[in-house]
Structure 1
């Protein structure tokens, strides 16, 4: 499915990052060109109309334009929430017939090629146990809170960020609000020389990786400090990242309640203690969801069954 993927493993052979490269079996150049076209168009029209919010311009990842789609949780919220964007900005995305239940207008992800959602595809995942855990949790949340929708139907992830650039170079950061042991698929695009700039680095792993336009990787963004090297003047770079907020998993485990609301129910304290476990227990369980290279195929079969 991917052309010559490379895996980064720990001392025990556990996969902690997958450098996926480019997929086979589709006209990927056309997919990436369409991704770039939509991003450049939205950026151009949004700038002209001056309707980007400050949070879409300056943020902890750097100084470039970005938009998010899907649903998340955190910051004291009692239920899951859709990302909110200016309605006028959303109208810049090409109409596709897919609409947001809350706003009745086209959503950002609906304008992008559906192939972009392929990266975490369950049978071809290098993180099958983790993918199954995310998928089952999101299905439970979506059953409990009707109306929620994921950005891509063929992805397990509830959230996506489109980094519109036009010169997307992320500052070194760690996505502490994401699921700590969750991997985030990232796709790079744009017109830049990947030999001289736009490299992806992970500080704790002490690796610097060429990240050409059209390539993808999956990393533990909530556990590793990461960023990009600068690109040259006049070049453009865009990227897309799929992810899941860690608070979603706590909310689901707490019977679709916040910790405070759970503690107010009969038996809530015991249920919370059971999920939280003793120090180190959940950390060990989280690490166990990362497959080892020599167990990968067996994990895929155990998680999703053998190919028919």
Structure 2
């Protein structure tokens, strides 16, 4: 995407994400949720910050995977936050926990794929491309799933 819009400034010099959120409340915790507006086929980087015992508070819960993970300060996890329901456990008394999250909203990808215009603008300005894009919508998710590694591919690399 960067090569199509080189004039846009980056949030940070070394990130691939277009947005970031600082959660600095001191006892930051999230309730069970999905970030449905994030790019479903991309990653969300969550970094835990603060001083807490990750074995007793602030664990990361990935609901569909049935996982509860110790998630210590300074650790970063990459998850597809639009499709994996996630939360974290409450913070113990005396502990502090904050987070820094980086992500990219799905509409940004659609806007770039549409030639840096909304679907309505594309429909008016380029009806042929709009019609072609509409025919590809039903199978778009299959093409994008190819961006993810399979378990077999991951295991193959470690042997």
Could you state the TM-score of these two structures normalised by the residue count of structure 1? 0.47
Runs of 4+ displaced beyond 4 Å: none
Distance (Å, rounded) in 1 between the aligned partners of 2:78 and 2:131: 32
Determine whether 1:167 maps to 2:31. no
Equivalent residues, number? 156
Q: Post-superposition shift, 1:278? A: 4.7
Where structure 1 has 5 or more consecutive residues not aligned to the other structure, the ranges are 1-136, 300-308
Matched-pair contact (CA < 8 Å) for 1:193–1:231: no
Cross-structure match for 1:204: 64
1:290 match? 148
Q: Which one has a larger percent helix, Structure 1 or Structure 2?
A: 1
Question: For residues 153 and 111 of structure 2, what CA distance do their matches in structure 1 show?
Answer: 31
> Residues 50-199 of structure 1: matches in 2 within 5 Å?
137-140=1-4, 142-143=5-6, 146=7, 148-199=8-59
Higher relative contact order (CA 8 A, sep 6+): 2
The TM-score normalised by the length of structure 2 is 0.89
1:125 corresponds to which residue? none
Paired position in structure 1 for 2:109 = 249
CA distance in 2, matches of 1:200, 1:216: 11
Matched, 1:218 2:78: yes
Give 5+ residue unaligned stretches, structure 2. Answer: none
Q: Deviations over 1:174-218 (max 9, x none)?
A: 111110111111111111111111010111111111101111110
- Give the root-mean-square deviation of aligned CA atoms: 2.1
Among 265, 269, 280, the alignment partner of 2:127 is 269
